[in-house]
Amino acid sequence: MNVSSTLPTPPMLPGLPLLGNAIDFRRDALGVFRKGYERFGPVFGIQLARQPAVVLVGPELMRFFFEQTDTLLSMGEVYSFLEPILGDRVLFTAERRDYDEQRRIMQPAFHGKKLRSYVTEMAAEVDAWLDTLGPAGTFDLCEVSQQLTMNVVARAILGEPFRRRLGPELSRLFTDLAGGLEFVLPTNLPLPRFIRRDRALKRLREILGAVVRERRANPDAHDDFLQALLAASYLDAPSIPDDKVVTFILGLIFGGRENTSGHFEWALVMLLQHRDALARAVAEVDGVLGPADRPDYDLCRRMPWLEACVKEAERLRPVTHTLLRLAAQEFTVGDYRVPKGWLVVAGIALSQRLPALFRDAERYDPERFGPERNEDQPYHIVGFGGAQHRCWAMAFVNNEIKVILSMLLRRYEVELVDPAAPAKVNDIGVLRPAPPCLVRYRRRASVSA
């Protein structure tokens, strides 16, 4: 691509000596984005220690970010910090040919008839959780959501027999695995959390490897996504190697535990902080579900207000508030030249709050997604990615959140113990409420014990 050498590089946001904007970026990416945008507009630079980066804000630049991934922009090198978590260079870190193969294999699992069957399994898992709550009490939303979303994805995608294996040991192992996420420090340092991460990964791969070998030996005993994965071809081979299958399973469960749980947490927190929206959601759920009903795929589609509430939480509190790429070659964006080797940062957290795109953008207002306003235009909300890098499981995640919310609201009156906004945890690009986030519940009078 021809780039004029006379063009300047993006103007840099002032920062600290040596560290640049790294500390502020890790603590409050949205604040950094605001400062840069207000001073320079939708394209500006930041310094993350020794690494220069360009930040892009706004729907057209989000389109550019996603459409140019794998051409001008590289994804694999930036997300190499996930390799110690998964134990393989796949999923986020895959090369283009490998990624295309994964997409071919994975996409059918999250569309059409499969989605319908998953909702049934989701509802059964949520029902089992609700049965443990009793007539009244409190629970820590952060703790519950990570366990519940991990169980849901395991049951829906990998089958009830596999779900039964997710006992206390696997929950602890995934906790230790998540604790080893790091993108600043070298990941091979002899730190206690890295040691726990490596031990957890070894044990998880042993457990999952045994499941895969058992399934290989009994190919006719199951009819689920895992069995379809084992039967799929991969690149030039007639089947996917067992170690790759284990990595795919790890990625699915890890993603369900870390990202889906964050989406659910914010959706419930923001509903409970806005009582009018909550009352409307409860009325909608009551009009669709009976006291003992489990939602199915079609019933989920009859709850547009609940879906709008989920989307508004995603807009204001995107769990993935920042995405990164590496400039694979020099290119121009706006009036600036971005050198090869710079980081390219999608400022999602700010893009989804721009007043030009959303009326009263800082306000929680699910009405914006109704047909009268329809503010959900292409690349206005990109927490699940875009173009060829749109998340395969987006519909699965949204259905899962609606199933959990609808069943919880149908059976219980719920409120935050502390109605103030919970502190936010920003960890490796993931934004979620800080634990403990206590929810008080009481069984509704219309629901029998």
Domain boundaries, the chain: 90-318+360-443
Whole-angstrom distance between the N-terminal and C-terminal Cα of the chain? 67
Alpha helices (H) along 83-236: 83-86, 96-106, 113-130, 141-158, 160-163, 168-178, 192-217, 225-231
| Alpha-carbon span 427 to 182, nearest angstrom | 9
Whether a cis peptide bond, with omega within 30° of 0, leads into 378 is no
| Alpha-carbon span 246 to 248, nearest angstrom | 5
CATH class of 90-318+360-443: mainly alpha
| Residue 52 pLDDT | 96
| Alpha-carbon span 279 to 289, nearest angstrom | 15
Q: How far is CA 7 from the centre of its chain?
A: 37
Cβ neighbors of 254 (< 8 A, separation 6 or more) are 85, 86, 174, 177, 178
- Strand-pair partners of 54: 45, 344
Dihedral angle computed from the Cα positions of residues 335, 336, 337 and 341, in that order, rounded to the nearest 10 degrees: -140
Q: How far is CA 292 from the centre of its chain?
A: 30
pTM of the shown model: 0.91
In angstroms, the Cα distances linking 174 to 38, 169, 192, 206, 320 are 40, 9, 16, 14, 19
| Alpha-carbon span 277 to 267, nearest angstrom | 11
| Residue 1 pLDDT | 46
Choose among 340, 354, 263: nearest CA to 61. 354
187-196 core/surface letters (b: 16 or more CB in 10 A; e: else): beeeeeebeb
Choose among 268, 229, 50: nearest CA to 145. 268
Q: Return per-residue pLDDT of the chain as tens, 449 residues.
A: 456 668 999 999 999 999 999 999 988 899 999 999 999 999 999 999 899 999 999 999 999 999 999 899 988 777 777 788 887 766 555 566 777 777 788 777 777 778 888 899 999 999 999 999 999 999 999 999 988 998 888 888 778 877 877 777 878 898 899 888 776 677 788 999 999 999 999 999 998 999 899 989 988 887 788 888 888 888 888 888 899 899 888 888 887 777 899 999 999 999 999 999 999 999 999 999 987 789 999 999 999 999 999 999 999 999 988 899 999 999 999 999 999 999 999 999 999 999 999 999 999 999 999 888 889 999 999 989 888 888 878 889 999 999 999 999 999 999 999 988 787 776 556 788 988 999 999 999 877 65
Choose among 344, 316, 314, 351: nearest CA to 328. 344
242-279 core/surface letters (b: 16 or more CB in 10 A; e: else): eebbbbbbbbbbbbbbbbbbbbbbbbbbbbbbbeebbe
| Residue 86 pLDDT | 81
Cβ neighbors of 2 (< 8 A, separation 6 or more) are none
**Cβ(309)–Cβ(277) below 8 Å:** yes
| Alpha-carbon span 348 to 259, nearest angstrom | 15
Task: Name the burial class of residue 48, with classes exposed (0-12), middle (13-18) and buried (19+) by CB atoms within 10 angstroms of its CB.
Answer: buried
